[in-house]
Amino acid sequence: MRDAVTSLIQNYDLAGRYFDRNAMDSLKAYFASGQARIAIAGMITSNAAEIVKTASARLFEQVPELLAPGGNAYTTRRYSACLRDLDYYLRYASYALVAADNDVLSERVLEGLRETYNSLEVPIGPTVQGIAIMKDVVKEMADAAGVADTGLVDAPFDYICRDFGEKDI
Ligand code: CYC
């Protein structure tokens, strides 16, 4: 599992090189964004249940058939599995946000997930939609809390959506 610093070290070590100007620039950018990353992660931690609740309500409004008989979130067992999954994506996104690296998402979340969803007939399209909605909810919240750089929020959520969504045709 890597973060912005360990990824950089690994790349430069593989090449046997000292950090150059590019490396210094990316280190500076990482440390300069540190306070904002921590502020957003703290905000996610304190509001996780609220974020999942708001995002799932929007998702079920947009795709009501998920909750109808035959839908994959129908029955309380599947409904709660769905909320739980959204909570997993949110929690891991907060880790990746602090790390400024998506490696934790590949390693701990996305590896094998597609196969699991396919075997249980959990639809990937609406799941990706739900993750994108969570991104919006987190950004709205960060904006309301006065975080200047809410663009930081995009990377982990977009990464999950891209990796999970792109092969879904
Ligand atoms: C099921 N989601 C599962 C399962 C796994 C995950 C492993 C099968 C085992 C179980 O039910 O617990 C996902 N597990 C994870 C993830 C992690 C993990 C991400 C973090 C590392 O440990 N159904 C919908 C919605 C969507 C949904 C679109 C919510 C957005 O219609 C989710 N996931 C969903 C549902 C199930 C599930 C309903 C249960 C499916 C079933 O058993 O029939």
Ligand 1 centroid – CA 137 distance (Å): 21
User: Where in the sequence is the domain holding 28, given as residue range(s)?
Assistant: 1-32
Do 60 and 38 share a structural domain? yes
The predicted pLDDT at position 149 comes to: 87
Report the pLDDT value the prediction gives residue 165, as an integer from 0 to 100.
84
Determine, yes or no, domain membership for 50: yes
- Cβ-contact 108, 92 below 8 angstroms: yes
Domain count, the chain: 2
Same domain assignment for residues 8 and 62: no
6 with 54, same domain?
no
Is position 169 within any domain? no
- Do 43 and 105 share a domain, yes or no? yes
Residue 158: what pLDDT? 97
The residue whose CB lies within 8 Å of the most ligand 1 atoms, and thus the one to mutate among 122, 127, 135, 168, is 122
Nearest residue (by CA) to ligand 1, atom 8, is: 116
Q: Provide the pLDDT for residue 2.
A: 95
Residue 157 lies in a domain: yes
pTM: 0.96
For 57, 73, 129, the CA distances from 76, given in Å and listed in that order, are 15, 8, 21
Judge contact between 60 and 73, C-beta under 8 A. Answer: yes
- Residue 163: per-residue pLDDT: 95
Q: Are residues 81 and 55 in the same domain?
A: yes
Give the pLDDT confidence score for residue 167 in this predicted structure.
Answer: 60
3-state secondary structure of 35: helix
Residue 40 confidence (pLDDT): 96
For residue 66, give every residue at least 6 positions away whose Cβ sits within 8 Å of its Cβ, in sequence order, or none: 59, 60, 72, 73, 74, 82, 123, 126
Q: What is the CATH number of the domain that holds 114?
A: 1.10.490.20
Q: How far is the CA of 134 from the centre of ligand 1 (A)?
A: 16
Cα(160) to ligand 1 centroid in Å equals: 15
Ligand 1 centroid from CA 142, angstroms: 27
108 and 63, same structural domain?
yes
59 and 18 inside one domain: no
Closest approach atom of ligand 1 to CA 86: 30
Residues 87 and 11 in one domain: no
Both 24 and 81 in one domain: the answer is no
Q: What is the pLDDT along the chain (169 residues), one digit of tens a residue?
A: 899 999 999 999 999 999 999 999 999 999 999 999 999 999 999 999 999 999 999 999 999 999 999 999 999 999 999 999 999 999 999 999 999 999 999 999 999 999 999 999 999 999 999 999 999 999 999 999 998 889 999 999 999 999 998 764 4
Q: Which two tokens stand for residue 23?
A: 């490396």
Query: Which atom from ligand 1 is nearest to the alpha carbon of 88?
Result: 20
